[in-house]
């Protein structure tokens, strides 16, 4: 994984995330320790926070929620996601290099 907290595999973005559930609002906080910090209002109960986080990331990257796949970190705060063909990139994420 790149030190920036993400890498590209073709048009798929592999993203490391540190989530804070039960926040007062949903927001991208910024980059810290090679992870994108995200606050969400959902509680960490029975997978609800993971589903909510997936939907939030789908909105941020402007993709259908089925294109946001949790790869690792189902029970912890540190997670890794695959985002297929993101249409919008938040600050700190550079577009994929064009194929040669």
CATH 3.30.1200.10 fits 6-84, yes or no: yes
Average pLDDT over residues 41-67: 93
| Cα gap 74→8, rounded to integer Å | 22
Domain ranges in the chain? Answer: 6-84
The pair of three-digit structure tokens given for residue 21, joined into one six-digit string = 């559930």
Q: What is the pLDDT of residue 4?
A: 76
What is the DSSP secondary-structure string of 20-81? E-S-SS-EEEEEETTEEEEE-SS-SSTTHHHHHHHHHHHHHHTS-GGGEEEEE-SSSSEEEE
pLDDT at 90: 86
Q: What is the pTM of this model?
A: 0.89
How far, in whole angstroms, is CA 26 from its chain's centroid? 13
């Amino acid at each position: 994984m790149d030190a920036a907290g993400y890498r590209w595999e073709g048009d798929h973005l592999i993203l490391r995330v540190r989530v804070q559930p039960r926040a007062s609002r949903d927001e991208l906080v910024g980059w810290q320790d090679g992870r994108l910090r995200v606050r969400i209002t959902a509680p960490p109960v029975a997978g609800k926070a993971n589903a909510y986080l997936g939907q939030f990331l789908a909105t941020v990257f402007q993709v259908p929620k089925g294109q946001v796949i949790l790869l690792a970190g189902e029970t912890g705060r540190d997670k890794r996601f695959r985002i297929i063909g993101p249409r919008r990139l938040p600050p700190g994420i550079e577009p994929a290099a064009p194929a040669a």
